Amino acid sequence: MKSDFLYPQNAYHGVTTPENLKFDAMLQYFTQRVNYIVSLETNGKLPTVEAFEKIQSLWEQVDNLKKELGIGTSRSSGEEK
């Protein structure tokens, strides 16, 4: 299906908690957006500085969600070390 090609979703293989699933979805969104941004920059449709700023903004969103959900802290249940 066309949408499967444009918006691929991989199954989550970690400890299944609502926090982990939400973070995994955000990581998949992040990688998809970075792929688009890099493609636009590579083809000259987006200036390098703007591409960097967009990726940096996306990364800040990922980092903020990680902190909000407590991923990687002792608060996170089922955390693998």
Condensed to tens digits (0 to 9), the pLDDT of residues 39-72 reads: 999 999 999 999 999 999 999 999 999 999 999 8
**Residue 29, burial from CB neighbour count under 10 angstroms (0-12, 13-18, 19+):** middle
Helices 48-69 & 18-42 angle (0-180, nearest 10)? 180
- Predicted structure pTM score: 0.75
Place of tokens 């982990």: 20
Give the residue from 59, 69, 56 showing the smallest Cα distance to 20.
69
Position 11 scores a pLDDT of 76
Position 80 scores a pLDDT of 47
Position 78 scores a pLDDT of 52
User: Is the pLDDT higher at 75 or at 27?
Assistant: 27
Question: What is the band of 79 on the pLDDT scale with cuts at 50, 70, 90?
Answer: very low
CA distance 13 to 28: 13
Give 26's DSSP letter: H
